């Protein structure tokens, strides 16, 4: 059995690697082709081209790379059709992946297509589900409230749990060891700074994040910061943080255990919007979420958005305990007071919301990668169609 997989960014690479491991556990003969990052490659897949080429977001950011991305879409579709795979599994990155699926389905309507990570139609552009159903047969959903949106549009869908619940929770001893290894005193206030994993968002967020860190350093005695970054952005981040009052502890492409220990060791986090809020919640690290984007992208988003929060912890827990500052609100004058409260121990109810979030995402159950593998195999064996839920 062969599958063609496509992931377009680091979060998708993690999902793809866990899915591949689960598939090999259940079907050892499975083989893989496609596009992925270092984690998927470590699981045995040679990437058709570097995954990093696909890690762009927003209309203003995509336009300069439009023709290059269009060529890559065609190359990926042609490779999938020529692979002899029984199905194609596309992972997140819908702007790229669904265009590939459209070409594949047009050329071979019977080719099974599975998409991992349901589009956030509950947040904006609800019509995407119906368009997606034209080229996708089955969806693997990360959030428990997503399957009805997908099945209503005509696709089968299984809630497979979020991969964050399968990642290790750092112990107090591991958190203390992280501090000791990086020369951070046990009682020093520690802020995790997380400006994202895409070049565009990092370039846009590091200036206001840097201003915030500078102001906090003056206001909070002994403040230290830790900043994880993908390897391809390390030099950019190093240059951008060179002028900070106290250089951050820069973690270049940290493994999951190190990243988890860093979050557990931190007293608070300043983070870009996205999956990282769930990683922080898993380690019980209170957070402030901030995000900015090109003015045109922000204007379009605000015209289409249907929810009052973009933070996944707030959405899954059905609370609004995590403060967020989006667009013009993403500035130091807003971020500093919000973070000062967290660093002083006032979490505003975040601990309870984070625990509830983890429970609702499947903590304590079968690993999501294995659940996703079962769902994929059920589809290939003609046993799909039901919606798996997790209370």
Q: Is residue 387 part of a domain?
A: no
In a shared domain, residues 372 and 308 = no
Min mean pLDDT across 182-196, 272-286, 290-304, 319-333 is at 290-304
pLDDT of residue 387: 38
In a shared domain, residues 349 and 373 = no
Q: Is residue 64 part of a domain?
A: yes
Which domain, by its residues, includes 370? 2-161+365-380
pLDDT in tens, 42-54: 999 999 999 988 8
In a shared domain, residues 232 and 108 = no
In a shared domain, residues 215 and 315 = yes
Q: Is residue 390 part of a domain?
A: no
Asked whether the whole model's pTM tops 0.85, one would answer no
pLDDT of residue 63: 55
pLDDT of residue 293: 79
pLDDT score of 57 more than 90: no
In a shared domain, residues 353 and 369 = no
Mean pLDDT for all residues in the chain: 91
pLDDT of residue 307: 72
CATH of the domain at 190: 3.40.50.2000
In a shared domain, residues 130 and 272 = no
In a shared domain, residues 328 and 369 = no
Please name the residues in contact with 21: beta carbons below 8 A apart, sequence gap of 6 or more: 43, 369
Q: How many domains does the chain have?
A: 2
Q: Is residue 234 part of a domain?
A: yes
In a shared domain, residues 185 and 334 = yes
Q: Is residue 386 part of a domain?
A: no
Min mean pLDDT across 48-57, 235-244, 348-357 is at 48-57
In a shared domain, residues 230 and 279 = yes
In a shared domain, residues 184 and 272 = yes
pLDDT in tens, 131-154: 999 999 999 999 998 999 999 999
More confident residue, 199 or 125: 199
Q: Is residue 126 part of a domain?
A: yes
User: What whole-number distance in Å separates Cα of residue 184 and Cα of residue 227?
Assistant: 14
Q: Is residue 270 part of a domain?
A: yes
In a shared domain, residues 134 and 234 = no
pLDDT in tens, 79-107: 999 999 999 999 999 989 999 999 999 99
In a shared domain, residues 236 and 350 = yes
Q: Is residue 388 part of a domain?
A: no
More confident residue, 237 or 62: 237
More confident residue, 59 or 373: 373
What does the block give as tokens for 245? 């009052």
């Amino acid at each position: 059995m062969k599958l063609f997989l496509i992931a377009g960014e680091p979060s998708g690479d993690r999902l793809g690697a866990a899915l591949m491991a689960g598939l090999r556990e259940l079907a050892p003969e499975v083989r893989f082709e496609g596009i992925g990052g270092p984690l998927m490659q470590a699981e045995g897949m040679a990437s058709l081209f570097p995954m990093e080429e696909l890690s762009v977001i927003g209309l203003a950011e995509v336009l300069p790379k439009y023709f290059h991305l269009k060529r890559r879409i065609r190359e990926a579709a042609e490779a999938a059709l020529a692979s002899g795979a029984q199905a194609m599994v596309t992972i997140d990155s819908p702007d790229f992946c669904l265009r590939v699926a459209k070409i594949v389905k047009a050329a071979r309507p019977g080719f099974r297509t599975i998409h991992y990570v349901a589009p956030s139609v509950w947040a904006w552009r609800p019509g995407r589900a119906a368009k997606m159903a034209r080229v996708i047969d089955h969806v693997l959903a990360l959030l428990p409230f997503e399957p009805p949106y997908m099945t209503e549009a005509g696709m089968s869908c299984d809630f497979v749990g979020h991969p964050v619940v399968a990642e290790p929770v750092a112990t107090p001893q591991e958190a203390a060891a992280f501090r000791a290894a990086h020369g951070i005193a046990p009682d020093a206030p520690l802020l995790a700074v997380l400006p994202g994993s895409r070049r565009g968002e990092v370039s846009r967020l590091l200036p206001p994040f840097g201003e915030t860190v500078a102001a906090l350093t003056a206001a909070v005695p002994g403040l230290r910061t830790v900043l994880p970054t993908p390897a391809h952005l390390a030099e950019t981040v190093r240059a951008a943080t060179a002028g900070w009052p106290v250089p951050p502890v820069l973690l270049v492409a940290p493994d999951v255990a190190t990243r988890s220990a860093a979050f557990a060791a931190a007293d608070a986090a300043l983070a870009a919007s996205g999956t990282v809020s769930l990683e922080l919640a898993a380690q019980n690290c209170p957070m402030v979420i901030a995000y900015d984007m090109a003015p045109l992208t922000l204007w379009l988003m605000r015209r289409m958005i249907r929810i009052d929060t973009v933070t996944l912890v707030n959405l899954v827990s059905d609370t609004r305990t995590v403060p967020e500052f989006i667009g013009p609100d993403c500035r130091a004058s807003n971020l500093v007071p919000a973070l000062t409260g967290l660093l002083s121990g006032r979490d505003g109810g975040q601990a309870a919301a984070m625990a509830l979030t983890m429970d609702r995402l499947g903590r304590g159950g079968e690993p999501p990668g294995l659940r996703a593998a079962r769902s994929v195999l059920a589809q290939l064996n003609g046993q799909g169609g039901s919606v798996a839920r997790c209370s």
